[in-house]
Structure 1
């Protein structure tokens, strides 16, 4: 059976989730440095769920959420997740832009933690990488 014959070939990514330990820092990173619009911000203190996304694209969102809030996660697992986040080894997202150098300059000038300057990769893309205030790896590819 061809996937196009199933009626499900119009699946899109609607929301993706990233953990945060610093809601205000995360909000500043995604809103002020990346230029995402804030679509929702609920909760208080560190218990905030913040939905952001690219302006003019309401169908694509990133939900910044407190770490390990799923049911069934033990305190030991929650501690491990928090430790992995602090090391920058727990979560990642890849974004894309036609203006990689401009986005790189804005993030660097804004004090974001630099992981990799814009680099031509041997697998055919040019990208850079930063960490958000919660340690999540944010890779940014150049659209070609």
Structure 2
């Protein structure tokens, strides 16, 4: 079996703030930006990796959600416990400095973990947990 990750989904509550973070801070390419009524789905991905994309989606777009479920989803997103993404870089300290300088919420400065990974953590503008690992 030969599988690759094609795309993953992260919710967003503010498309312009998400664009500013993923495009302008992380340097991802905007691959698609589709609107429907008052909602937007934005597809971004790392330059040079067209096969891997992140779809930033409106969290309450699922018509099967009840109002209570929609509210619960939004609460979990606000706490940063609904979705997460782990990225990797060759220069963790430099990447951390760039992202921290953008004003992103820092959760953890670069740290050598007991399980053998050096990483840091932020929240994106929606509250999603973004961890960044140093490549070995």
Q: TM-score range by the shorter chain?
A: over 0.9
Aligned to 1:77: 69
Is residue 94 from structure 1 mapped to residue 86 from structure 2 by the alignment?
A: yes
Could you tell me how far 1:70 is from its partner in structure 2? Answer: 2.7
2:41 aligned counterpart, secondary structure: strand
Range with greater deviation from structure 2 (122-131 or 40-49): 40-49
Distance 1:143 1:78 in 2: 37
Alignment partner of 2:20 out of 28, 48, 62: 28
RMSD (CA atoms): 1.3
Please state if 1:64 is matched with 2:56.
Answer: yes
For 2:26 and 2:64, locate their aligned partners in 1 and report how far apart those are by CA, in whole Å. 33
Larger Rg: 1
**Could you say which residue in structure 1 is the equivalent of 2:102?**
110
Report the number of matched residues: 136
What is the rounded CA distance, in whole Å, between the counterparts of 1:97 and 1:28 in structure 2?
20
Q: Specify which of 117, 127, 135 is matched with residue 135 of structure 1.
A: 127
Task: Please give the residue correspondences for 1:43-62 in structure 2 after superposition, counting only pairs within 5 Å.
Answer: 43=35, 47-62=39-54
Runs of at least 5 residues in structure 2 that lack an aligned partner in the other structure: none
- Greater mean alpha carbon deviation, residues 62-71 or residues 117-126: 62-71
**Alignment of 1:42 onto 2:56:** no
**How far has the Cα of 1:17 moved from its partner?**
0.1
TM-score (norm 1): 0.90
- 5+ residue gaps, structure 1, are 1-8
2:11 to 7, 16, 19: 19
Output the CA distance in 1 between the equivalents of 2:118 and 2:38: 35
